[in-house]
């Protein structure tokens, strides 16, 4: 049975490639592919929730939390020394 949307057919890929070359020209293809790759990476990062700003904010919060805990330990240690 013949299907119009047979993507496995290499002829469709060849015609598609030639169409892209005609539309965008040989010099624009690497730029086009690069932008498609960046868009795909950004989309996947968004799906995973790997937002760089969110990760940076989490790192800052962890650093603040660590510093506060360290200060609290120092104060507790000073109080113990003062009591003894």
pLDDT in tens, 38-80: 889 888 877 776 677 777 888 999 999 999 999 999 998 888 8
- Left (φ > 0), alpha (ψ -120 to 50) or beta: where does 71 sit? alpha
pTM assigned to the model:
0.38
Q: What is the pLDDT of residue 73?
A: 92
In whole angstroms, give the CA distance from residue 65 to residue 68. 5
């Amino acid at each position: 049975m013949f299907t119009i949307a047979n993507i496995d057919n290499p002829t469709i890929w060849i015609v598609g490639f030639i169409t892209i070359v005609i539309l965008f020209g040989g010099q624009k293809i690497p730029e086009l592919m690069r932008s498609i790759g960046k868009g795909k990476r950004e989309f996947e990062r968004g799906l995973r929730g790997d937002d760089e700003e969110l990760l940076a904010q989490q790192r800052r919060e962890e650093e603040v939390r660590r510093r506060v805990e360290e200060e609290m330990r120092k104060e507790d240690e000073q109080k113990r020394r003062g009591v003894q």
